[in-house]
């Protein structure tokens, strides 16, 4: 199997698509041998990690290797739990140590976000009836006198009706102006426990307990009913770190759009995560679609996943994983040794019984998510999106990737000539 065939299998992408892409990118950049470089780098890392797991190449199937990777993930999570001061994620006051470490690790302080007075006006304009009822308030004014503004906005996402949110509440966002934004600190907090019960009343127990609001510069954790579950410490820390970089990225875009016409409409489009369905004719250029979310979560066979594309999510994860590596350098007790020096694009194809063969992700995030789901799910989308980004980076550079995503996000694709 040659390098392009191998990469095509890891990406589940038709080989001719990649052959054409590599040929065009080589001609455009003048860089040759990129498929072979990626192939060798991937094989070298996988071989080293199999040695650490004491697995001889060709002597284990995909399922066995996945189990061994989950064991290493579990060890890292247990060490993280100790390092973070054994946080009790069922209590609001539990995570001050973790939040302090996060802020120092990311070193991201301020951003460009919607002013609090404007946020209050949105609530006054379209009162969130479910939240008012759940908290026993008769008016938004009364609620705002007694409740945290940021918590109310977080609760909108899991208490109010999605159709009402998109068609009614968020519609005034189209009228946002640049002077409705201000520079202020990014906020990280654990919501009060009452929101767990209220959220479960409206959407059941399938609540995402970590999320963020880009336009507010706010990352929040919804308290869980039990003290700690396997994978939670590492998942919570890494996901918040990722969200900090994502908020910083979007803050720069808000700032950029503040000098352009149609500010509000651009903000709404940005927050919606819209992905272009069609692309222009290449006309001799190389086109890379910009996919701003993980499409594979919705449909792992979405055809856009098998066309050349880059993903900003992976840029944020790359920064977060580098920072976790650096933190582990200074704090050996975190026990991240196995996960050090594994680039997020690394995956391998192993025998898989009746299935013939299967892809195993060596990406930390994919394995953390699998661990928090009890090892019952298989996750590849971080690794595969990182591999697409890796191809772009090898030809154009890491800084150029982020620069070109920022420049071209509005139109939805990068055109290289």
Residue 367 DSSP code: H
| Domain end residue (candidates: 192, 210, 227) | 227
Query: Can you list the residues of the chain whose pLDDT is less than 50?
Result: none
Whether the CB-CB separation of 229 and 77 falls below 8 Å is answered with: no
Place of tokens 């704090």: 331
Could you give phi then psi for residue 213, rounded to 5 degrees? Answer: -125, 105
Concatenated DSSP letters for 117-130? HHHHHHHHHS--HH
Q: Tell me, what's the pLDDT at 205?
A: 65
Do both 193 and 319 map to the same domain? no
| Domain end residue (candidates: 172, 198, 227) | 227
Do both 209 and 329 map to the same domain? no
Do both 217 and 190 map to the same domain? yes
The strand pairing partners of 221, in sequence order, are 190, 210
Rounding to the nearest 10 degrees, give the CA dihedral for residues 176, 182, 187, 192.
-50
Q: Give the separation between CA 159 and CA 417, rounded to whole angstroms.
A: 47
Q: How far is CA 187 from CA 118, 150, 190, 220, 379, in A?
A: 17, 9, 10, 8, 30
Concatenated DSSP letters for 166-214? IIIITGGGGG--GGGEEEEE-EEEEPPTHHHHHHHHHHTT---SEEEET
Do both 163 and 242 map to the same domain? no
Do both 256 and 352 map to the same domain? yes
Tokens for 240, please give them: 């918040």
Q: Which residues span the domain enclosing 212?
A: 90-227
Do both 294 and 348 map to the same domain? yes
Do both 343 and 296 map to the same domain? yes
Do both 412 and 300 map to the same domain? yes
How far does Cα 97 stand from its chain's mean position?
Answer: 23
Q: Give the separation between CA 76 and CA 103, rounded to whole angstroms.
A: 21
Q: Look at residues 238, 224, 190 and name the one whose alpha carbon lies nearest to residue 369.
A: 238
| Domain end residue (candidates: 206, 227, 248) | 227
Do both 234 and 210 map to the same domain? no
Whether the CB-CB separation of 231 and 377 falls below 8 Å is answered with: no
Q: Look at residues 16, 27, 31, 11 and name the one whose alpha carbon lies nearest to residue 394.
A: 31
Distance from first CA to last CA of the chain, Å, rounded? Answer: 31
Whether the CB-CB separation of 339 and 72 falls below 8 Å is answered with: yes
Q: Give the separation between CA 98 and CA 103, rounded to whole angstroms.
A: 9
Do both 279 and 359 map to the same domain? yes
Do both 156 and 194 map to the same domain? yes
Whether the CB-CB separation of 319 and 340 falls below 8 Å is answered with: no
Residue 216 DSSP code: T
Structure pTM? 0.92
Place of tokens 């939805």: 412
Q: How many domains does the chain have?
A: 2
Three-state secondary-structure class, residue 73: helix
Tokens for 227, please give them: 């003290």
Q: Look at residues 87, 110, 108 and name the one whose alpha carbon lies nearest to residue 98.
A: 87
Do both 207 and 253 map to the same domain? no
């Amino acid at each position: 199997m040659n390098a392009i065939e191998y990469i095509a299998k890891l990406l589940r992408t038709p080989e001719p698509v990649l052959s054409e892409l590599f040929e065009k990118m080589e001609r455009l950049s003048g860089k040759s041998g990129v498929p072979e470089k990626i192939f060798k780098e991937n094989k070298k890392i996988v071989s080293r990690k199999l040695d650490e797991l004491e697995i001889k190449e060709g002597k284990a199937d995909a399922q066995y290797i996945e189990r061994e990777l989950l064991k290493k993930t579990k060890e890292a999570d247990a060490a993280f739990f100790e390092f973070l001061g054994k946080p009790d994620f069922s209590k609001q006051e539990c995570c001050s140590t973790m939040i302090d470490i996060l802020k120092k690790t990311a070193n991201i302080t301020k951003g460009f976000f919607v002013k609090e007075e404007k946020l209050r006006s949105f609530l006054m304009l379209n009162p969130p009836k479910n939240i008012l009822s759940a908290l026993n308030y008769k008016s938004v004014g009364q609620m705002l006198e007694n409740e945290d503004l940021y918590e109310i906005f977080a609760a909108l996402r899991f208490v109010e009706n999605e159709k009402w949110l998109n068609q009614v509440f968020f519609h005034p966002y189209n009228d946002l102006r640049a002077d409705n934004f201000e520079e202020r600190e990014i906020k990280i907090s654990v919501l009060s426990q009452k929101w767990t019960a209220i959220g479960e009343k409206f959407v059941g127990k399938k609540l995402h307990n970590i999320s963020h609001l880009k336009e507010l510069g706010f990352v929040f954790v919804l308290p869980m009913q039990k003290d700690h579950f396997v994978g939670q410490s590492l998942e919570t820390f890494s996901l918040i770190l990722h969200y900090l970089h994502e908020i910083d990225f979007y803050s720069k875009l808000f700032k950029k759009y503040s000098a352009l016409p149609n500010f509000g409409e651009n903000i709404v489009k940005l927050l919606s995560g819209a992905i272009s369905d069609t692309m222009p004719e290449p006309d001799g250029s190389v086109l890379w679609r910009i996919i701003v979310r993980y499409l594979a979560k919705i449909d792992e066979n979405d055809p856009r996943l098998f066309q050349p594309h880059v993903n900003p999510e992976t840029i944020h994860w790359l920064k977060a994983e580098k920072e976790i590596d650096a933190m582990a350098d200074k704090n050996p007790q975190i026990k991240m040794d196995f996960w050090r020096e594994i680039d997020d694009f690394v995956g391998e194809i192993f025998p898989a019984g009746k299935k013939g063969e299967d892809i195993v992700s060596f990406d930390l995030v994919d394995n953390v998510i699998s661990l928090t789901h009890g090892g019952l799910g298989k996750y590849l989308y971080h690794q595969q999106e990182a591999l697409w980004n890796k191809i772009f980076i090898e030809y154009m550079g890491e800084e150029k990737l982020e620069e070109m995503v920022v420049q071209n996000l509005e139109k939805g694709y990068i055109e290289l000539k």
